[in-house]
Chains A and B, each alone.
Chain A
Amino acid sequence: MMTPALFSVCVLAALLELDTTYAFQLTFSRGIIAAPIFSLLTGDIMAGIQVGVFTELLFIDVNPLGGVLPPSAVICSATTLALHMLGAELYLAFIFGVLFSLVFAQIEKYRRRSRFRWMIYWEQKIVQKPTSVNRAIMISLFSSFAINFLLLFAFVWAVSPVILWIAAHMPERAQIACKLAYMAVPWIGLAALIPEFRLKTR
């Protein structure tokens, strides 16, 4: 089930996911940028652009303010396109992409909470030897990359047979319902942009 292209998508997604918080924040992790890049690997470029736009519009109203952790657009796009590549319809794969990005956000929250002991250790090290801050940053980046990759890889590997089974046995009415909900995504997103741009004060 796991092809080199899928493996590459997982590696690239884990790398781009770092851009969300841990490094750069150059917006490579935005759906509209990440999804077309993934689609070069999965082969369906139009699916990439559609998933990218839909992911961006769906997550546009959740911002990383303070401790708020929005669902990852990279994880959603990568999961959706990987499942689509394995044969799942886009409207069905997108549901699992959104769900996994929500689960991933919860895991990330847990990771941030449990980083306390790690932080205490590195704080002591840095005070003793200040140059070890470079090592702390490198280790943090690498461990984040590795965890992102493992989570995504495990999810796609474990869930794809289930989704393909669901897709094959899904009643036609349920398929229509999922298609309608998928069709509604750009409208849900655009409607959310009006209050996002509301002019409160000058």
Chain B
Amino acid sequence: MNFKLQLSLFLRSFFLQTGWNYQKNQNIGLMFVMWPFLKQLYKQDPDALPSVLTRYLQNFNTHPVMASFCFGALARQEEDVLKTKNAKELEEQITLWAEIKRSLSITTASIGDRLFWGTLKPLSLLVALFVLLVLGINFFEIQLPATTSSWYIFFAGAVAFITFNAIAFFIRWKGLSISYFNEDHRCFGLTEFDWNKTIYNAKKLGLFFTVCMIGIGVFYFMQTSLAQNVQFITRAILVLFFISISFITRRLRIPNMYLYLVAIAVFNIVCYF
């Protein structure tokens, strides 16, 4: 795989989820990503393409960023499929190809979901929230100041964007080459990174940031409420109530948004009595 082909696969990988459906998930996307590679590989044998394409159009589902490991590994195995000399060998290699696709997509999905959705996304949000606080935008208060430079605001968004995408781009690009050039086929380059340690450390950092953020929020409420001498107890009860109820709803796997909708109903009832 040369640089041009890798770049083509990398750019096309951004459309992996186009055509997402519940029956075969990302199958059309996988076909779209792998097409330049397949076109080049089967240049001498175009008659084999329909059966190859049918394989690629089977069910495929993984994390969109981590999918690059699957692309590289599948490309490598496809070359082995092409090199086969008889029907038995071909069948074996195709079975191996299908097994790689199935097992690698499950593994990368698991890592990707934990790393990107479960850790990096909330962590980058917290970083952006700290940026906002540093820039003097206190989002805990619903009455925000009217005059703030728009550059400041986009700076926070840019920080969240860069924090997430710097890692996502690196994995997308590197995953392709690592899994393709991995000589001994050991986990297709997945063991090049210590995913568990990375996720563990990022979660530790996220937990620290969250506690700090809650501390800042409480400190802000105490400061403003004591200064104005109003609403402190109401606010404190409100904050403590939602923090504790959120733990319960989380345990029951009830999303935040339902808690908010219930809060509207509860507050309405309370305000009327």
User: Which residues of A does B touch, CB under 8 Å?
Assistant: 21-28, 30, 32-33, 36, 40, 45-50, 52-54, 56-67, 71, 90-91, 95, 98-99, 102, 112-113, 115-116, 118-119, 122-123, 126-128, 130-131, 133-134, 136-137, 140-141, 144, 173-174, 176-199, 201-202
In angstroms, Cα B181 to Cα A63, docked, is 32
CB-defined contacts of A133 to chain B, threshold 8 Å: 28, 31-32, 35
Query: Is there contact, CB below 8 Å, between A25 and B214?
Result: no
Q: Which residues of B contact A177 (CB under 8 A)?
A: 264, 267-268, 270-271
Give every chain B residue within 8 A of A141 (Cβ-Cβ). Answer: 15, 18
Stretch at the interface among B83-91, B94-102, B140-148, B182-190: B140-148
6 smallest A-B Cβ distances: which pairs?
A191-B246, A177-B267, A63-B117, A197-B206, A173-B271, A197-B207
List residues 124-148 of chain B with CB under 8 A from any CB of chain A: 124-126, 128-129, 132, 137, 139-140, 142, 144-146, 148
Interface residue from B23, B65, B144 paired with A46 (Cβ < 8 Å): B144
The answer to the question of B81 belonging to the interface, with a C-beta cut-off of 8 Å to chain A, is: no
* Complex Cα spacing A151 to B200, Å: 41
Contact at B49–A130, with CB atoms within 8 Å?
A: yes
Question: Is A36 a contact of B260 with CB atoms below 8 Å?
Answer: no
Contacts of A61 in B (CB 8 A): 250, 255-256
Pick from A32, A63, A119, A179: contact of B21, CB under 8 Å: A119
CB <8 Å contact, A32 and B156: yes
Say yes or no: A36 contacts B157, CB within 8 Å.
yes
| A-contacting 9-mer, from B1-9, B71-79, B222-230, B236-244 | B236-244
Known A181-B263, A197-B122, A199-B200: A102·B257 in contact at CB below 8 Å: yes
Residues on the B chain within 8 Å of A24, using CB: 14-15
Is the Cβ of A174 less than 8 Å from the Cβ of B271? Answer: yes
Given contacts A191-B244, A199-B203, 17 further A-B pairs with CB under 8 A are: A22-B15, A32-B156, A36-B153, A50-B142, A61-B256, A62-B255, A91-B142, A95-B264, A122-B28, A126-B31, A130-B49, A130-B53, A181-B263, A187-B246, A188-B246, A192-B246, A194-B247
